[in-house]
Structure formats: C-alpha cells, structure tokens
Structure 1
Amino acid sequence: MEYVPRERVTSLTAVLSVVSLAVVFAAAGGRIPSSTVPAAPEWILDLIPHVNVLISATAIGTITLGWRAIRRGNVDRHRVAMLASFGLFAAFLTLYLYRLVATGGPQPFPGPDAVYQFVYLPVLAIHIFLAVVCVPLVYYALLLAFAYPVEELYQTNHARFGRVAASLWLISFSLGIVVYILLHVTY
C-alpha cells in the first residue's frame, strides 16, 4: 500500500526540508515574534532543556534499536523504532523552537570565554551542521519507506540514505547532550 506517490518522494523531501529549515532558521534568527506562541511560566521554559536532553538520550536509544533491528532482519521493529525516533526528533524540535521563540533567542553561554571559543562553539557548530544535514536525509528515508512496500524498498536508496541519516543523527543527538552538559551542568 502506497502512502506517498513514488514520483513525489524527491520533491516532497525538498519541500519539507526547505519549510522545516526555514522555520528553524527564522526562530533562531529572531524572525518569529514571541507573541506568536502562547506564554508559559518561567519554570516551564526552564524545564524544556532538561526534557530535551531526556528526549535526545531516548532518541539515541531508539535509533540504535532500529539499526540493530534491521541488521537482524526485523523490519517491523525497525519501523517502530525509526518512527519513534522521528517522533522524538519532532518533539525535541518543537520544544526547542518554542523555548527559543518564547525567550527571544538562544541561551547565552555562562562559562569562561576560552571554553566558549574552543569547546562550546565548535561542538555547537558541528551539532547544528549535522542536524541541518540530517533533515533532508531523514525525510527522504522516511518518505521512501512510506512510498514502497517492504519487498520493493530494498531496491531503493532507503538503506543507503537511512544509514547515513542514522549515523549523523546519532552524532548530532550526542553532541546536543554535550551542549546541554556545558550549558546546564558544568556552568
């Protein structure tokens, strides 16, 4: 059963990627006014980074489970794990963007300038770069999975793009946890 027309996978990937990244960059660049999101008490805004680190750790687990499942030939478990990973990613991003817009921008780094320049910024830059690169890869792998039955999926680029997307996703989520530790634990 086809959920996405096969001939639309590439164009739908492009549209979803552009729209998603436009929203992220608009929020990060302060182009979305805080009046566009409902107000939340300060304690909720303060709680979001802690919830997001739990979401990130859980996503690392579900991506790993999905990878192991497909290597063992368990397509159903792989599908559930990867859809859960995507749902966790969407939840993370929704909470992150909400907090970003509601607070008026990214949280300043509270640590020493040397750590900021030589540790925090490089880790953050790689984390953001990988997250941006992952968006079209994840969409493409996901849309291929919805466009083809399992028997035909092996003849597509789903596995190739899925391996790259999962690898980069794992690294990005892991670096996100490092960023959290630097912002909320170490300093």
Structure 2
Amino acid sequence: MQLQARDNVPLLTVVLSALALGAVFAAVGGVIPTSLIPRIDGLIAVIPELNAIISITAIGTIIAGWRAIRRKDVSSHRNYMLASTVLFAAFLVFYLYRITLAGTTDFGGPVAIEQFVYLPILAVHILLAIICVPLVIYTLLLAVTRPIEDIYTSRHRSVGQIAAVLWLISFSLGIVVYAMLYVVY
C-alpha cells in the first residue's frame, strides 16, 4: 500500500486537495445541508477564539519544526510538522462547521477600512490558505511514503519551505482577520 502511495503522490495530492477544498467551497457556498450536522451553539460561539488559538499554536509549531530540521533533528521536525498539520485540519474542521451552520461574519468597522484594509488582508489570507492545501498535502505525503534517507532526494525540502512560509503568512493574516472582526470592530 505504501509503495502504491509513494508512486502516486501527485495524484493523491490532487485528490485529497480537491476533497478538502471542495468541502470548503461547499460550506461557504451553502451546499452542505445543515440538517445533517448537529448544531452546538456554545461551540459555534467560541470557534473564532478557538481558531485564533489554533493559529497561534500552529505558527509556533511550524517555526519549531523549521528550527528542528535546521538542527538536523528529523524526529522533532516530523513531530512539529505533524502537529502543525493536525492543527491546520482542526482549524479547517471548526471553520467549516461554523461557516456551514452560522455563515460568515460581517465586518463591523468603517467601509473605508473594510474595502482598503480588511478585504485585501482577507483575500490574501484566503488565497494563501487555498494554495497551502496542496503544498502541505504534497509535502506530507512525500514524508510519510518514503524512508528518511529518500526524503532528501525528493522535493520535500523545496516544496516544504514554500509551504511553511505561505502557511506562516496565512495563519498570521488569519489572526489579523480575527482581530479586525472580533477585537477591534
């Protein structure tokens, strides 16, 4: 099974990315039937704060993973990056749950701030999050389908560096979006 996955990393990346992004677009587009999902209002209310905490934690694990691999500590790098991936998935699940059941949050600040600050930041955050999905999946699949010595001859490092930078920027902008929606305005 692992050999088949190893030989089909690009195809698996496309399939898993399409499933993940399809779920996001279905939730945002209101395609997911809300009657199929149990509504927990207390959870819905705290998801923005929970996702901000997840984002801050993910920034920490991505940086720690990056530092670990620079020290050639592969085991710690693996653990930090798996934690980052789990945090990314948790963020996505909570986000999809909230968007599906409660919809988006309207910006409460001045229109000028919304148009020239908030919306551009939100757009870059969303674009980077979308780009990160296949990059993270590809990097993760390269890592889990190969022995450690083979990873060094794969594109894991080059794609992983790009993914990590974009991931950090996306999570950071997500925190700015949270602050603009729930703290500042």
Pairwise CA distance, 1:2: 4.2
Structure 2 residue aligned with 1:110, among 108, 132, 145?
Answer: 108
- Equivalent pair of 2:9/2:141 in contact (CA under 8 Å): yes
Alpha-carbon separation, structure 1, partners of 2:4 and 2:177:
36
- CA RMSD, 1 decimal: 1.3
Equivalent in the alignment of 2:81: 82
Equivalent in the alignment of 1:137: 135
Structure 2 residue aligned with 1:154, among 126, 146, 152?
Answer: 152
Equivalent in the alignment of 1:32: 32
Deviations along 1:60-112, one digit per CA (max 9) or x if unpaired, are 00000000000110000000000000000000110011011111x21111111
Q: How has the CA–CA distance of structure 1 residues 126 and 151 changed in structure 2, closer, same or farther, with 3 Å as cutoff?
A: same
Equivalent in the alignment of 2:19: 19
Equivalent in the alignment of 1:123: 121
Equivalent in the alignment of 2:60: 61
TM-score, with length taken from structure 1 = 0.96
Partner SS state of residue 5, structure 1: helix
Alpha-carbon separation, structure 2, partners of 1:21 and 1:176:
17
Aligned-residue sequence identity (percent) comes to 56
Pairwise CA distance, 1:3: 7.1
Q: Which blocks of at least 5 consecutive residues in structure 2 are unaligned?
A: none
Equivalent in the alignment of 1:71: 70
Pairwise CA distance, 1:5: 2.6
Equivalent in the alignment of 1:94: 93
Q: Amino acid of the residue matched to residue 145 of structure 1?
A: A
TM-score, with length taken from structure 2 = 0.97
Q: Amino acid of the residue matched to residue 63 of structure 2?
A: T
Q: How has the CA–CA distance of structure 1 residues 136 and 74 changed in structure 2, closer, same or farther, with 3 Å as cutoff?
A: same
Alpha-carbon separation, structure 1, partners of 2:88 and 2:108:
26
Alpha-carbon separation, structure 2, partners of 1:80 and 1:106:
33
Q: Which blocks of at least 5 consecutive residues in structure 1 are unaligned?
A: none
Pairwise CA distance, 1:30: 1.2
Q: Amino acid of the residue matched to residue 152 of structure 1?
A: D
For these two proteins, the number of residue pairs brought into alignment is 185
- Equivalent pair of 1:4/1:143 in contact (CA under 8 Å): no
